[in-house]
């Protein structure tokens, strides 16, 4: 029996691992753009997470003719008025900035400001279908930014995002914990009933 294919509108391997863990039990074959010979760069200068996620999902779906799942997420720090927000992936003023560069720049912006540096991660996930249908899911997780990176199992700002009730950063969580607590997990979980209904026929 052929598996239902779902294209992930991202080239981020960390995201791929998370999505595979979240959706693997559904029997869906999760593909990357490289798996279908697709090279696509989508403008992510939208005014909201939802706009950026929708742009990516619709562009990949149109180009590949496959159901496509995209997300846009960001870290919003209270002390910085919600920065970096939707600019999280482009926050550091350096060309080709790495995750470490972005973390370092954020921490420099926070120097001298009183702690705790309360923050939350937000994610909007978008699923686009070849018939033009588009559906969204959202998720958030509350925490705080800490000045030292901890943990090896995350990416982006995960190593400096502490979940106080656990005493661990997002990068110190197991995949099972992350798939229960993270902003991306919550956004994708909100889409699961729709995935089951539309891609798997409600099975």
Lateral strand order in the sheet of 5-8 = 29-31, 5-8, 68-77, 117-128, 134-145, 161-163, 168-169
pLDDT score at 2: 61
pLDDT score at 203: 54
pLDDT score at 1: 47
Q: Which two tokens stand for residue 45?
A: 């200068």
CATH of 5-199, one of 1.20.120.450, 3.40.50.720, 3.30.1540.20, 3.90.950.10: 3.90.950.10
What are the residues facing 29 on neighbouring strands? 5
In the set 72, 99, 101, 131, the catalytic residue is 72
Which residues, 6 or more positions from 66, have their beta carbon under 8 angstroms from its beta carbon? 5, 6, 7, 31, 36, 60, 130
- Digitized pLDDT (tens) for each residue of the chain, 203 residues in all: 467 889 998 877 777 788 888 888 888 888 888 888 888 888 888 899 999 999 999 999 999 999 999 999 999 999 999 999 999 988 999 888 999 999 999 999 999 999 999 999 999 999 999 999 999 999 999 999 999 999 988 789 999 999 999 999 999 999 889 888 999 999 999 999 998 888 887 65
Q: Terminus-to-terminus CA distance in the chain, angstroms?
A: 15
CA-based nearest residue to 73, from 92, 95, 48, 97: 48
Q: 78 catalytic, yes or no?
A: no
pLDDT score at 24: 82
1 by Cβ neighbours in 10 Å (0-12 / 13-18 / 19+) ranks as exposed
Q: Which two tokens stand for residue 69?
A: 């799942």
């Amino acid at each position: 029996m052929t598996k239902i294919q779902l294209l992930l509108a991202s080239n981020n391997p960390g995201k791929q691992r998370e999505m595979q863990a979240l959706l693997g039990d559904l029997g869906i074959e999760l593909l990357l753009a490289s798996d279908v010979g697709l090279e696509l760069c989508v403008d992510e200068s939208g005014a909201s997470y939802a706009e950026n996620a929708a742009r990516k999902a619709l562009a990949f779906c149109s180009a590949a003719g496959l159901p496509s799942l995209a997300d846009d997420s960001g870290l919003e720090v209270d002390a910085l008025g919600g920065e970096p927000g939707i600019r999280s992936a482009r926050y550091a003023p350096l060309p080709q900035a790495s995750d470490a560069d972005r973390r370092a720049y954020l921490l420099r912006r926070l120097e001298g400001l009183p702690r705790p540096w309360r923050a939350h991660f937000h994610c909007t996930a978008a699923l686009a279908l070849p018939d033009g249908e588009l559906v969204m899911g959202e998720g958030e997780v509350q925490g705080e930014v800490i000045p030292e990176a901890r943990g090896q199992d995350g990416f982006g700002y995960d190593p400096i995002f502490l979940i106080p009730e656990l005493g661990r950063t997002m990068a110190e969580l197991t995949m099972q914990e992350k798939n229960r607590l993270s902003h991306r997990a919550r956004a994708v979980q909100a889409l699961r009933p729709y995935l089951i209904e539309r891609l798997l026929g409600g099975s």
